[in-house]
Structures are given as structure tokens and as C-alpha cells.
Amino acid sequence: MDPVNAAPSPLDPPLPQGVPAISASADRARAQLHEEIERVRLGVEEMLAEQNEPVNSEIQRELDNLREDTRLYVKKRLRKSEKRLERSVRKIGERTTRLEQRIDQVEADRAAAEYRIHSDTERMLDGLLAEVRAIADLLSKS
């Protein structure tokens, strides 16, 4: 495991339950370290620019390496965060689709139940009406 990436960035979304979170002081220390590295790098560049001397190629190479490492670190962290976000959005989308399908199924079941109730009630009332007519016919014949 890369020691630079061992702890989550303070800009990353919160960790899921059950995953130990890094302490706030460690987050602050890591952020301060990155700020300090960037400040020193900029200070060295400014100092070299003020000296108007040709920049030592070794120092310039070290500064370029530091700049590139910082750029790659930020790019890597951003890519990881984007993938995590995309995965979360995709999961939410899938869950939303399942819920919509379930709602549609419940609505279809409700409509079918209403139709059955209406049809059964209508058949029952037609049967009662036929029985009442039959009784009325018997009473009228007597």
C-alpha cells in the first residue's frame, strides 16, 4: 500500500459504517504537510528566480519531480473520488429503477384487485337480483 495514500483525503466522502475513520488531527496534519511542501517548492522557485543565476539542473529537476508528483497525486485522488461518486450514483440509479418497477407492479396489482372486486361485486349483485326476481315471480304466481 502506498504510504501517501494510506489515509483518505479530507475531501473524500465519509467512509461507510464499519470502516475505521482516520482522526481529524491526522487529516489536518496531512493537509498541512501538503501545504507546506507546496509552500517550500514555491519559495525555492521564487528564490532561484530572484538570484538571476542559472538554475542548478539538479535543483530544477527536483522541483519538476516534486511538481509532477504533486500533480499525479491530486489527479489520482480526484480519479478515485470520481469513480467512487460514479459508483454511488450508479447504485442509487439502480435502486431507483428497482423501486420504480416495484411501484409500477404494486399499482398494476392494485388496479387488477379493484377490477376483480368490481367484477365480483357486479356478479354477486346480478345473482341476488336474479334470486329476488325469482322469489317475486313465485310470490306473484301464488
Residue 118 in domain = no
Looking at the structure of the chain, the number of domains it has is: 1
Domain around 72:
3-11+22-105
Residue 68 in domain = yes
Average pLDDT over every residue of 90-98:
95
pLDDT tens, residue by residue, 20-75: 455 667 767 777 877 888 888 788 777 767 776 666 788 778 888 888 888 888 88
pLDDT tens, residue by residue, 112-123: 999 999 999 999
Residue 89 in domain = yes
pLDDT tens, residue by residue, 6-17: 445 545 555 555
Residue 63 in domain = yes
- What span, in angstroms and rounded, lies between the C-alpha atoms of 69 and 41? 12
* Amino acid 136: pLDDT: 92
- Rounded to two decimals, the pTM is 0.43
